[in-house]
Amino acid sequence: MFGQNVTVAMTSVSGHLLAHDFKMPFRKWHSCNPLVLFEAEIEKYCPENFVDIKKTLEREARQCQALVIWTDCDREGENIGFEIIHVCKAVKPSLQVFRARFSEITPRAVRAACENLVQPDQNVSDAVDVRQELDLRIGAAFTRFQTLRLQKLFPDILAEQLISYGSCQFPTLGFVVERFKAIQAFVPEAFYKIKVTHEHEDGMVDFNWKRNRLFNHTACLVLYHMCMEDPMATVVEIGSKPKSKWRPLALDTVELEKLASRKLKINAKETMKIAEKLYTQGYISYPRTETNIFPKDLNLSSLVQQQTQDPNWGAFAQGILDRGGPTPRNGTKSDQAHPPIHPTKYTCNLQGNEQRLYEFIVRHFLACCSQDAKGQETTVEIDIANERFVAHGLMILARNYLDIYPYEKWSDKVLPVYEKGSRFQPTTVEMVDGETSPPQLLTEADLISLMEKHGIGTDATHAEHIETIKSRMYVGLTPDQRFLPGHLGMGLVEGYDSMGYEMSKPDLRAELEADLKLICEGKKDKVVVLRQQIEKYQKVFTEAVAKANKLDQALSQYFGEVTALAQQEEIYPAMPVSIRKCPQCNSDMVLKSKKNGGFYLGCVSYPTCKAAVWFPDSVLEVSKDDSVCAVCKPHPVHRLKFKFKRGSVPPLLPLEFVGCIGGCDEMLREILDLKYLQGPSRPGRSVNLPANYLQANQSLNRMASSENGHVRPTTNPGAARAHRAASHPAPAAAENNAVMCNCREEAALLTVRKEGPNQGRQFYKCSAGSCNFFLWADEQSDDGNRMTHRSFSAPPDSLGERTPGSFRSLGGRGLGRSGSNGFDSGGGGGGTMCKCDQPAITRTVQKEGPNKGRQFHTCPKPREQQCGFFQWVDENVAPGAFSSNQFRSEGHSRGSGSKAKRPSNFSSEKGPTAKRQRTCGICHQLGHTRKTCPQDH
């Protein structure tokens, strides 16, 4: 190989190594509306059962310098070859790639392939990729449409039935239905003819009327009476000419399937299965070929010579060689890839259908390489009352190929010797009647002929499509193996035909097959073909869904009344509408429902991309608005209609309004906590309300009075920032007095399981784990408030009474002005510091409920930068919970380098003189240590 000695490592694959499928969100039937499948993303991946094969290829590729593809030399084989190339080059990009071209597994063919390595044909592989993608999209969309709809409308009959659609499968079904309907619609018509016989010592001779037949009884009767008036027959013409019966053409795949079905009674699927086995064993050439011309460089004599040892046809094979060698009868088709099917090695060890098919291929090959049968045909024409009648005779002179090919008959028909001008009395002259008969149901061979004629499928897929319509119960077989359409098949074809789309006709698929051929030849671009075909079928699908009731009506003729559906019951999943592009992968983001209720905006590329916007439980309803944000990019970013739970938004906002989640609407970002969309933090943002904040308030009031009740929050950056700066979380009871954590969500009630002093004790903590909230359940008062087991006094708000211009934040918490540190230490008291060593600010709860009017300390930073610090002014959260820098006196500041003194009235639960007890390092509660803390379990 390559003109040098090389070390070769051989391995194999099992058909296609990679598979086409939709990305994860679209694979499940109820994940989307079927229409989406025409545009849904498709991926090519290695199925789990082929991963070991893929690993073997990768391992071998790393150790080699060149890769030679030896897959079958047809479209599918070329595509499989490129899958192998893709896998191997991924681990070794420098790998050289070559293609071996061969048509049989023989030493001669292998040597020839090694000496003539070529490059793989990308065009042929592209054609397969196009077909696979279209078959997936079209098949999945129509199959889900039909199955989901008809299973619900005819549950008693079709509840468990997969009602598949394929662009080859349906035209194949269409041929069967068309023939059946032609038989049903057939109206017999009476005809009449005159028949003459002449009995001779050598037998009976039948003379056929040259008019054949008449459909008018009176006309035929008049002519018959004329003949009967003078029934003597005169011989007016005697002819004799050579007659040949042609030997069979070289064998291609379609002929193999048809002849095996007719002559051997083996169906097409079984025929191809056996042929592939014979090929892999080296007994025959490649069985998938469109060629019926033997190449000139193929040594046919050596192939005939191999068969001379057989006791049944060996003598005939020797006779071919003795008469000058094989002279095959060639056809006109060639796929430029494989020769016609022929035997490559002699064997006498086969059994059953394998032996029968091998024998047929051998006999066909020898017959093709032999001579036509020769004979002499005699014609005698007579005249009776000016009506002409003809008799034909045949004398076989040389049977030739018929001696080896028992699948065809040609027999002698002896005529007596007549002389021109002689007269004789016919034995009978009679007028007979009959009637025209309908066409017969299709046999498998008939169906394959129609598929080939109209370009449905290829020689390699005919058997597969026929088997599919049988397995789906669209058609059945009569006792004499003819196709009869079932009720489901009839209903589907009639339903689509009534819509005006002859989807059961071959035109749509035939166009695709022609385009695929042009792709193989490099005359058409695969992207163009793919786009055109998708657009064509998508249009048909859209209109078919709109006229789906016609499909229901067609099937109801066979399955009875359609089952009524509840008014709000949907047959298909809701159409996912793109809200915006994903900021991580640029795929569409669509509205989805959580399993336990609620909503979120998710990326359609999940699980590859896990970007999502989780809306809080306070969002009761959300839907796409018709408006598009003019600011956010990439366009379009659709606005959403929100409906919020009462009490979860600032009181100046209505419960229903429209907003943008693209990032420009900072008020909505604050309400929904859209962290994934937030840009870099903006330092220096003041937490105090600006002097002109009343203007923002007035704009909110204007929004609340919009005519349709849907309010579009302002996109004014100044007003939105002012609101955002003023909005900070504060735990408060929900309407049902549930305990709320620091991130405004209902806290989870848990029980200590670990052995220790607190075993069995219940506590609250953040259900999402996103804040450091903790509260013992038995420290909660009857009205849902926290127990005030720590107390200290706080000064009134530095502004005194709240001004009309102040704004109420999320959950109804009032946001007032505060002093620089938010805590008046009084004489010798310490200032409250948050976790990020900033002076905490003081705010007051304004929401109606048990905590209304209660003050709390929180971090002064903007929300996205907050440290999560929270403290009721009249309550200490847990013993030891405040670090030394959280209470400071004016005389002991951190800046002076000395520690702040802890006020004595906070030293212990037992009073100022009690010994300090050890507390937990996590939750700072008494009675347990860090190792046994319930918050850590």
**Which residues belong to the active site?**
286
Whole-number Å distance between alpha carbons of 41 and 604: 9
Look at residue 398 and give its three-state secondary structure: strand
- The CA-CA-CA angle for residues 760, 765, 770, to 5°, reads 150
What secondary structure letter does DSSP report for 418? -
State whether the Cα torsion 499-502-504-509 is positive or negative: negative
Phi, psi angle pair for 715, to nearest 5°: -105, 15
Assess contact for 722 and 696: CB atoms under 8 A.
yes
Whole-number Å distance between alpha carbons of 537 and 34: 13
Whole-number Å distance between alpha carbons of 611 and 604: 9
Residue 425: how many CB atoms within 10 A of its CB?
9
Assess contact for 164 and 158: CB atoms under 8 A.
no
Assess contact for 697 and 751: CB atoms under 8 A.
no
Whole-number Å distance between alpha carbons of 443 and 884: 94
Whole-number Å distance between alpha carbons of 929 and 758: 11
Pairing of strands 423-424, 233-245: antiparallel
Q: What is the dihedral of CA 388, 391, 397, 398, to 10 degrees?
A: 100
- Helices and strands (DSSP H and E) totals, the chain: 22, 30
Q: Which residues contact 909 (CB under 8 A, 6 or more apart)?
A: 789, 879, 917, 926
Whole-number Å distance between alpha carbons of 533 and 507: 13
Give the start-end residues of each E strand in 70-189: 96-99
Residue 675 CA: distances (Å) to CA of 27, 67, 578, 672: 30, 50, 20, 9
- Could you write out the three-class secondary structure of 429-494? EEEEEEECCCCCCCEHHHHHHHHHHCCCCCCCCHHHHHHHHHHCCCEEECCCCEEEECHHHHHHHH
Assess contact for 389 and 381: CB atoms under 8 A.
yes
Residue type, 321: L
Phi, psi angle pair for 397, to nearest 5°: -100, -35
Identify which of 651, 649, 644, 600 has the alpha carbon closest to the alpha carbon of residue 618. Answer: 644
Pairing of strands 813-815, 807-808: antiparallel
Structure-token pair, residue 222: 């008049």
Q: Which residues contact 156 (CB under 8 A, 6 or more apart)?
A: none
Look at residue 125 and give its three-state secondary structure: helix
Structure-token pair, residue 176: 């069967």
Identify which of 744, 580, 746, 812 has the alpha carbon closest to the alpha carbon of residue 676. Answer: 580
Counted residue by residue, the chain has a size of 937
Structure-token pair, residue 541: 């699908």
Residue type, 20: H
Helix (H) or strand (E) holding 179: helix 169-185
Q: What are the residues facing 897 on neighbouring strands?
A: none
